[in-house]
Structure formats: structure tokens, C-alpha cells
């Protein structure tokens, strides 16, 4: 079956058409600046040149129409007819406590996703717009919602509760949800497979280090803790997000800068993290280049970032009373050997022995530890689109 995977943001839409039998990408692309002047579609068929089309996309339905036209076009298309698309899988960021698994989308599901909107006001409404746009263009094709939060719904209460008055959980569902669930699930399963661990007796820590970053503790195949919380702001230091801070900093800075909560949130989400710390930016390639040139702040930023990752690994090893394997994934986890090597320096106490010949290994699946290492360190590229396609096929 050919599955169209859609990841819809407020002004962007990423897509991949995946052949679920061979698990190969047939075509993929990105619509940018939807609803904004200068809309553009970039479409790519593996092995061929990228195609860029600049054309107005006044709304997401226009974007979906353009994608479908491109997929079926005589020049750049990959299918002759829309009937070849057997199902659509949508990434949905927040499923609250309502969704512990992926679901086939119907009117009730759409309503339930909308009820989670205030938990992810920037993401869920955009995801719903993508669902409605696909429904309008392909009314008879089954669609599945795959939630970023679902994999973490197995967390025990002690891991998801905050030290706040309990009625905020009861009344407003203020608790840890966690995100990147599709990636944590995909990578932990692949790790168990690769290392031939017993799925029902395994302890895996997944470090998803991308522009957004989170760590999870996966005990016997189930998430038992994760670093992101009610929102993706908590936990690790990220590209532009602060991660964990003393909450009192918010009032302190609001007074110093004479700004309100919205501006403080903007600072914490968009101006902090490694971008804010380094004064350089959020891209680790730029940070690495600056550090190589002796930029003190870039070096300190990489140290601070890696230290936070190492602290979470320690916390999750404690939470599971041990660990069999630690996995690195996503843009930085898969490619940035500096961060990975810095984090690894903290892991000796766990019995980790790194394979020195793998210090520069990157970009592909592999084990990074020596044969006598008590705990394995793995590089496992994530593939959230493939995971969404698999979930979609399983449900339709």
C-alpha cells in the first residue's frame, strides 16, 4: 500500500509518500509559507533533482491540492491516480490523556484532538487543519492520527505528576506528557531488535537530540519517563528552547526586562537554548565550527548541553535500576560526534567502554561501544515518517 504521511505546521506541511511493502520513500517534500506571501513547494523523488514551485497557497487545502497535483503530475509525479494512495497518516502533536495509541480518524477523533488544543496551541490546530484539508481533497481515503504523546502514556503517576497542587492535575490535566513519542518508540524497538534484548526484560535510554530534544527511559518496551513535560519546553537544552530552569527565573526576568509572561515564554522558547547561550545560533554545525576556532562561548555551550544530556541519562538509569543500552538519534545524535563523545565521557561509571575506532562514526546504524562494554551505546537513525506509515497501515 502507498501511504501519504503528513506533518502539518501552522505555515508548513511536510509530506512523504511511502510504499509500505518495501518501506521505501517514493517521494517527499515540503510546502513552506502557507498563508504567507512567497509560498513554495519543494518536491523530491529519490534519485532525481529537487523540484521547486513558487505558487500562492492561501490556505492548507491549497497546499494539499498542490502536493496531490505534484504526486500525480505527468512530469514529476510518481503515481498515475490518487486512488493509488491507500491511506494517509497524520502526525498529531498532543493527544493529552485521551490517546494512548494511534487511531483511525473520524468526527469524534477530530473533536477529541480539538479538545487537546489548549495543551499545544501552536501545533494541534495546525495538525487539524492538515487533517481537514486532506479530508476535503481525499474524502474516501482512510486517515490515521499518530500522536507524539501516545508512547509516553505508559508513564507511571510518580513520573508524570508535578509537585503542584493536585487539583491542577484534576481540573486542568497539568502533568508531564512527553513528546517525540514516535521516535522514542521506533528507536527503542530497533535497539531491542539489534541487540537481541528480551523485549519484556530490557532497559533502554533513548536520546533524541534534534533541534527539539528529549530523552526517554524505556523499560520492557514501555516509556516510564521522559524529559519533555506538559509542553516541549522542559528537559534538555535545545536549539532555541531553554529546557529545565528554576521557574522563579520567569518572575525575576519579567521584572528586570519589564515584560509580561508572553514575552518571557517567547524568550524561553525561541531565544534560549544553545542559540541564546552561544550567541551564535541553533545549528550545531555552526557551533562546532566556532568551537574548533577556539570560541570560548561555543565550547562552554557544547559542554553545558552535553552535561545536561549526561545528567538525564544518570537519572533514567536510576529510574530503571540499570540500563542495557543508550541510543543516540536525530540530527545531533546521529551526526554530531563532539556532543556524543562529550556525553560518553560521563558514562564510565555505568560500565560503558566506547570503541575508540568509532569516535567519528555517524549517520548510520551501528554500535559505538567495545565488545566488553557492560552497557551498549548505539547510533540508531530515527525515521518518524516510516513509523507513522507503519502505524497507519496497521490500523487501516
Which residues of the shown chain bind ligand AMP in the complex (CB under 6 A)? Answer: 210-211, 239, 282-285, 330-332, 335-336
Question: Measured from the CB of residue 128, what is the shortest distance to ligand AMP in angstroms?
Answer: 23
- 8 Å CB contact between 323 and 317: yes
CA distance 234 to 311: 14
Q: How far apart are CA 105 and CA 132, in angstroms?
A: 11
**Nearest by Cα to 91 from 8, 209, 32:** 8
**What 3-state class would DSSP assign to 367?**
strand
What cell numbers appear for 377 in the block?
A: 551505546
Q: What are phi and psi of 246, to 5 degrees?
A: -65, 120
- The residue from 148, 171, 225, 292 that is catalytic is 148
Nearest approach, Cβ of residue 45 and ligand AMP (Å): 21
Residue closest to ligand AMP when measured from CB atoms? 331
Q: Of 44 and 211, which has the nearer Cβ to ligand AMP?
A: 211
Q: 244 vs 283, which CB is nearer to ligand AMP?
A: 283
Backbone angles phi, psi at 14, to 5 degrees: -100, 145
CB 279, min distance to ligand AMP, A: 16
Partners of residue 29 on adjacent β-strands: 15, 43
* 182 vs 336, beta carbon nearer ligand AMP: 336
Q: Kindly tell me which of 285 and 374 has the beta carbon lying closer to ligand AMP.
A: 285
Looking at the DSSP bridge assignments, the partners of residue 222 are: 219
Interstrand relation of 325-329 and 366-367 (parallel, antiparallel or unpaired)? unpaired
In the block, cell 563523545 appears at 341
Q: Is 295 a catalytic residue?
A: no
**The C-alpha cell that represents 113 in the structure block:** 484532538
In whole angstroms, the minimum distance from the beta carbon of 142 to ligand AMP comes to 29
Report the residue number, 20 or 278, with the smaller CB distance to ligand AMP.
278
Helices (H), 153-260: 157-160, 166-172, 181-194, 248-257
User: Whole-number minimum distance, CB 99 to ligand AMP, in Å?
Assistant: 24
Residue numbers annotated as active site:
148
Amino acid at each position: 500500500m502507498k501511504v501519504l504521511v503528513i506533518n502539518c505546521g501552522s505555515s508548513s506541511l511536510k509530506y512523504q509518500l511511502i510504499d509500505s511493502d518495501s518501506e521505501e520513500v517514493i517521494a517527499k517534500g515540503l510546502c513552506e509559507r502557507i498563508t504567507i506571501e512567497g509560498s513554495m513547494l519543494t518536491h523530491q523523488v529519490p534519485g532525481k533533482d529537487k523540484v521547486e514551485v513558487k505558487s500562492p497557497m492561501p490556505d492548507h487545502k491549497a497546499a494539499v491540492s498542490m502536493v496531490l497535483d505534484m504526486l500525480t503530475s505527468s512530469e514529476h509525479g510518481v503515481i498515475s491516480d490518487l486512488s493509488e494512495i491507500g491511506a494517509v497518516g497524520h502526525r498529531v502533536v498532543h493527544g493529552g490523556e485521551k490517546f494512548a495509541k494511534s487511531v483511525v480518524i473520524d468526527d469524534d477523533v477530530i473533536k477529541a484532538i480539538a479538545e487537546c488544543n489548549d495543551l499545544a496551541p501552536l501545533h494541534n490546530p495546525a495538525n487539524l487543519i492538515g487533517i481537514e484539508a486532506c479530508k476535503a481533497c481525499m474524502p474516501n481515503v482512510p486517515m490515521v492520527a499518530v500522536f507524539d504523546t501516545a508512547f509516553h502514556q505508559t508513564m507511571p503517576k510518580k513520573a508524570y505528576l508535578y509537585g503542584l497542587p493536585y487539583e491542577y492535575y484534576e481540573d486542568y490535566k497539568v502533568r508531564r506528557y512527553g513528546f517525540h513519542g514516535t521516535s522514542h518508540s521506533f528507536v527503542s524497538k530497533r535497539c531491542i531488535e539489534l541487540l537481541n534484548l528480551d523485549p519484556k526484560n530490557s532497559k533502554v535510554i533513548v536520546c533524541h537530540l534534534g533541534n527539539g530534544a528529549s530523552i526517554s527511559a524505556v523499560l520492557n518496551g514501555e516509556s516510564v519517563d521522559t524529559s519533555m513535560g506538559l509542553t516541549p519546553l522542559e528537559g534538555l537544552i535545545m536549539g532555541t528552547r531553554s529546557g529545565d530552569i528554576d521557574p522563579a527565573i520567569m518572575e525575576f526576568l519579567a521584572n528586570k526586562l519589564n515584560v509580561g509572561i508572553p514575552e518571557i515564554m517567547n524568550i524561553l522558547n525561541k531565544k534560549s537554548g544553545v542559540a541564546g547561550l552561544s550567541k551564535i545560533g541553533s545549528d550545531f554545525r555552526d557551533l562546532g565550527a566556532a568551537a574548533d576556532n577556539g570560541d570560548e562561548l561555543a565550547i562552554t555551550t557544547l559542554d553545558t548541553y552535553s552535561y545536561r544530556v549526561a545528567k538525564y541519562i544518570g537519572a533514567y538509569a536510576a529510574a530503571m535500576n540499570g540500563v542495557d543500552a543508550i541510543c543516540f538519534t536525530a540530527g545531533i545524535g546521529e551526526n554530531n560526534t563532539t556532543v556524543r563523545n562529550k556525553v560518553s565521557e560521563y558514562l564510565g561509571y555505568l560500565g560503558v567502554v566506547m570503541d575508540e575506532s568509532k569516535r567519528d562514526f555517524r549517520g548510520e546504524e551501528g554500535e559505538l561501544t567495545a565488545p566488553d562494554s557492560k552497557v551498549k551505546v548505539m547510533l540508531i537513525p530515527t525515521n518518524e515518517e516510516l513509523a507513522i506509515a507503519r502505524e497507519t497501515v496497521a490500523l487501516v
